[in-house]
C-alpha cells in the first residue's frame, strides 16, 4: 500500500498519464479543428472505424445487402488516433465524438444518427429486417440489444483498457473487470444453451451488435485474452461465434474501415461491393 493513490481535493487533467490513447482523451466536448467530412454518392453515409462498435454497422449493412435490400452505402474511415472525431464535420454528426455515426441523405429529418444501437434500430426499421415489428420477439431482441449496449463498456473501457492498453498493469482493476466479463460470458453462454441465436431462433440485430464484442473475444481476436479468460469454457458462445463468422455478410462487413491485420482484412473506405470483393480476393492468391 506504499504507493496507494490519494485523490486530490480537485481533479485536474493530466494528458501524459493516460497511456496509449491519452492524446485523444479530454474532459470537454466539441470540435478542436475545422474539417469537412467526405460525402459519397449513396444515401447512407457512414463515418466509422472497424472497432467492435464500428463493425456492428458495416456487418448490418452487408447483411441487408445480402437480403437484396437497397442499402448501398459509403463508409468513410475515421482515424480516432488522429483525432478526426474532434473535427467540426464529425462533431456535427455526433456531438459525443464517438464512432460510428451516420447520415441518411434520403431522409434528412432523421439526421444525425449516432450510437451504434440507435443506428442498428434505425436500419432495421428502415429496411424491415432483423427486428420483429412487435410482440414478444421484438421485446426479446431489444432486451439483448440493450444488454450488450450496457455490457460492452465493461469489456472495452474496463477490461480491455486495463488488460491491454493501460500504461501499467494494475491488479485490482484487471481482477475487477475480469470477474465482470466472465460473468457476462456466463450469462451469454446460458442464453445460447437454450437458443440458436441470442434472442431466440432468429438472427437479429442483437446478434449483429454482440458478435463484434463477445464473438471476437472468444475467437481470440479481441485483446488476445482467450487464454487469460479461459474462453473455451463457454461452449455455447463458441458455437454461436463460429456460426456468425461463417456468414458471408459478416466476413464482408468486418473488414470495412480497417487498416490492420492481413491484407485481405483491410479496406480503408468502402464505396461499392467491388471494393470488398477486391480485398477478399487477396486471400485466395
* Average pLDDT score over residue span 95-107: 97
pLDDT of residue 69: 98
Cα gap 181→175, rounded to integer Å: 10
Sorting pLDDT into bands at 50, 70 and 90, what band is 143?
A: very high
Q: Are strands 44-48 and 73-77 parallel, antiparallel or unpaired?
A: parallel
pTM, two decimal places: 0.96
Q: CA 280, CA 267: separation in Å to the nearest integer?
A: 9
Mean pLDDT of 143-150: 98
The rounded mean pLDDT for the chain is 95
Q: Read off the C-alpha cell for 17.
A: 498519464
Q: CB within 8 A of 163, min separation 6: which ones? A: 174, 177, 178, 223, 225, 228
Q: State pLDDT tens for residues 206-235.
A: 999 999 999 999 999 999 999 999 999 999
**With contact defined as beta carbons under 8 Å apart, do 177 and 162 qualify?**
yes
**15-32 per-position pLDDT tens digit:** 766 666 666 788 999 999
**Average of per-residue pLDDT across 140-154:** 97
d(CA 215, CA 125): 25
pLDDT over 80 (residue 1) = no
Other beta carbons less than 10 A from residue 81's beta carbon: 11
Q: Which pLDDT score, from 0 to 100, does residue 23 have?
A: 67
Mean pLDDT for 99-125 is 97
Q: What percent of the chain has pLDDT over 70?
A: 96
Q: What is the pLDDT of residue 13?
A: 85
> Region 99-115: what's the mean pLDDT?
96
What mean pLDDT is predicted for residues 189-201? 98
Report, as an integer, the average pLDDT of 72-89.
95
Average the pLDDT over 156-170 and give the result. 93
Q: In this predicted structure, what is the pLDDT of residue 19?
A: 66
Place of cell 466472465: 182
**Can you list the domains of the chain with their CATH numbers?**
1-129+261-278 (3.40.30.10), 135-253 (1.20.1050.10)
CB atoms within 10 A of CB 264: 16
Which of 4-13, 20-29, 58-67 holds the top average pLDDT? 58-67
Amino acid at each position: 500500500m506504499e504507493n496507494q493513490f490519494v485523490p486530490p481535493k480537485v481533479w485536474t487533467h493530466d494528458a501524459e498519464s493516460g497511456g496509449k490513447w491519452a492524446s485523444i482523451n479530454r474532459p470537454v466536448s466539441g470540435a478542436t479543428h475545422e474539417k469537412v467530412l467526405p460525402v459519397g454518392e449513396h444515401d447512407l453515409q457512414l463515418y466509422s472505424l472497424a472497432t467492435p462498435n464500428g463493425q456492428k454497422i458495416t456487418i448490418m449493412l452487408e447483411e441487408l445487402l445480402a437480403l437484396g435490400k437497397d442499402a448501398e452505402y459509403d463508409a468513410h474511415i475515421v482515424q480516432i488516433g488522429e483525432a478526426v472525431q474532434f473535427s467540426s464535420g464529425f462533431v456535427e454528426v455526433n456531438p459525443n465524438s464517438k464512432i460510428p455515426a451516420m447520415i441518411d441523405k434520403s431522409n434528412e429529418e432523421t439526421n444525425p444518427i449516432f450510437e451504434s444501437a440507435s443506428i442498428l434500430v434505425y436500419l432495421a426499421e428502415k429496411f424491415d429486417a432483423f427486428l420483429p415489428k412487435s410482440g414478444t420477439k421484438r421485446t426479446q431482441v431489444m432486451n439483448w440489444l440493450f444488454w450488450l449496449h450496457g455490457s460492452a463498456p465493461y469489456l472495452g473501457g474496463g477490461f480491455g483498457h486495463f488488460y491491454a492498453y493501460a500504461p501499467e498493469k494494475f491488479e485490482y482493476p484487471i481482477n475487477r473487470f475480469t470477474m465482470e466479463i466472465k460473468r457476462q460470458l456466463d450469462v451469454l453462454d446460458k442464453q445460447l444453451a437454450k437458443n440458436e441465436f441470442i434472442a431466440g431462433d432468429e438472427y437479429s440485430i442483437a446478434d449483429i451488435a454482440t458478435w463484434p464484442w463477445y464473438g471476437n473475444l472468444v475467437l481470440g481476436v479481441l485483446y488476445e485474452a482467450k487464454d487469460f479468460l479461459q474462453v473455451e469454457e463457454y461452449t455455447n458462445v463458441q458455437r454461436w461465434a463460429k456460426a456468425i463468422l461463417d456468414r458471408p455478410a459478416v466476413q464482408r462487413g468486418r473488414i470495412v474501415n480497417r487498416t490492420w491485420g492481413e491484407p485481405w482484412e483491410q479496406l480503408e473506405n468502402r464505396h461499392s461491393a467491388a471494393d470488398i470483393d477486391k480485398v477478399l480476393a487477396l486471400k485466395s492468391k
